[in-house]
Copies of this chain bind each other. A is one copy, B any other.
Amino acid sequence: MSSQTPSPDHPAFLRLPPWVKSKLRPFAIPIIQKVHDWVETECIPAEPVMRAQLAQDRWKTPKLMHELRKKAKSLGLFNLFLPNHFEESPGLTNLEYACCAEIMGRCYWAAQTMNCHAPETGNIELLAKYCTPAQKEQWLKPLMEGTMCSAYSMTEPDRASSDATNIGCSLRIEGDECIINGRKLYGNAQWNPELGFYILMACSDPENPNPWNRHTTVIVPARSKGLTMTRNLTIMGYDHAPEGHGEYIYEDVRVPAANIILGPGRAFEIAQGRLGPGRIHHCMRLIGQSERAYELALIHAIDPAKKPRGKLIGAFDSNIERIADMRMGIDSMRLVVLNAADTMDIHGNKAGKYAIAQSKILVPIQAARIIDECMQMFGGQGLTQHTPLPEMWTYARFVRVADGPDAAHRHQVGRDALKAAEGFRERHKKYNERHAEICRAWGVDPGLGGRAIEDLL
């Protein structure tokens, strides 16, 4: 760990576009450098040790993780993701944090050492935004201090819950208690003893004529009676322990009504604010993963031991073109996501909705494609544990469905885009009016020359 004096030539900034570099404040530059040095020195080289500790006790946070979190916290590298408009924030903008997130992405679990991992980030932001001081004291504080873990519980096995109005898990308020019944997928695993609570989205008012007012968000302590985790869900075969992805049954689970966030029926108000930044974090981390996959592929490309037909892998023109495609693909993704982060900084999360969706849709597909290409360039070893590529690919593939499959987002973008069509039609009408004037001025028969435009209206 070094990086006392901030330097624009530091490798942490190497691939940032000039407009981003010029927006990084002197305050942020040494932080980004520290994140870089942290990941390079303490995380990536420790990967095999983390793996070894996890192999011994699968469903417990490894000692190494605990130690690294303690150390990162002491270095001021904790909760960096929380944007600077929150009072609890360490002070980075979304754009500045995005630069950190890419670096964190190079190691699958590095973000966790800095308390910047999903679902903690989204949950912390949600609690900071919508909780009462009392709720914050009880639930937000331990999360931010890193002494507790949380989960987010929304997806359901029996519904198309990517459309959240379909969520059916029932929440009934009786006196000062809520009673919850239903099935949930994809919250972190209860098996990890450090899991403290779930932020649950449930249906409390199914008959409400407004489908956006039917749902309630509530905090459910992790070891509530009646709450059973039936199994851990694997993702492409990976268990993602010790966090995991639980499959849950709620049977008459009772929770204090004081745990309701913002009030009954306001779950959508909450949900809308939650996901934007988290999606950007995922995307930047995927870019970091892609960069690392790309580096491994390039190291392989110049490996003197690997010479099919007597040539280095990287001496084949076809591979040279593939490398160019990867290089440009990664850099294009970065421009898209950094623009989304910047848009949020300037105009807010809501105005950034489109740019966030653009990232969410394009980046996971592109990252998975690039990592897949890297695996293929490695030949047979690329799919094995000889490289971290299979886990990287799986992460990218997972993000394609996390927070809704990309078709759902594409649909939303498309429907919003269609709203401009009427305006385009008006624009064309004006072209035609002006066209008639010009034809008159030049003595041209508008019927002849003009049909190309007219025919569209």
Contact = CB atoms under 8 A, between A and B. Distances in A.
Nearest to A436: B45
A85 interface: no
A58 interface: no
B432 A157 contact: no
Interface string A232-256: 0111111000000100000000000
Interface string A432-457: 11110111001010101111110111
A385 B318 contact: no
A380 B411 CA distance: 17
Contacts of A451: 48, 386
A19 B456 contact: no
A407 B321 contact: yes
A418 B314 contact: yes
Contacts of A398: 383
A327 B413 contact: yes
B305 A158 contact: yes
Given A324-B417, A380-B402, A449 B52 contact: yes
Contacts of A391: 237
A408 B302 CA distance: 18
A160 B307 contact: yes
Given A298-B420, A298-B424, A452 B386 contact: yes
Contact of A299 (B52, B325, B343, B421): B421
Contacts of A119: none
A48 B307 contact: no
A308 B407 CA distance: 11
A381 B321 contact: no
A387 B452 contact: yes
A400 interface: yes
Interface stretch (A72-80, A139-147, A334-342): A334-342
Contact of A362 (B17, B237, B328, B431): B328
Given A388-B452, A421-B302, A434 B394 contact: no
Contacts of A332: 332, 335-336, 358, 362
A89 to B, nearest CB: 21
Contact of A49 (B44, B314, B438): B438
A316 interface: yes
A162 to B, nearest CB: 6
A83 B455 CA distance: 40
- The 10 A-B pairs of least Cβ separation, nearest first, read A48-B449, A324-B414, A320-B414, A45-B434, A324-B413, A163-B308, A160-B308, A298-B421, A45-B435, A318-B318
Given A48-B451, A234-B390, 15 more contacts: A41-B434, A47-B452, A48-B448, A48-B449, A235-B390, A237-B237, A295-B428, A302-B425, A308-B408, A321-B414, A376-B401, A376-B406, A380-B401, A383-B401, A385-B452
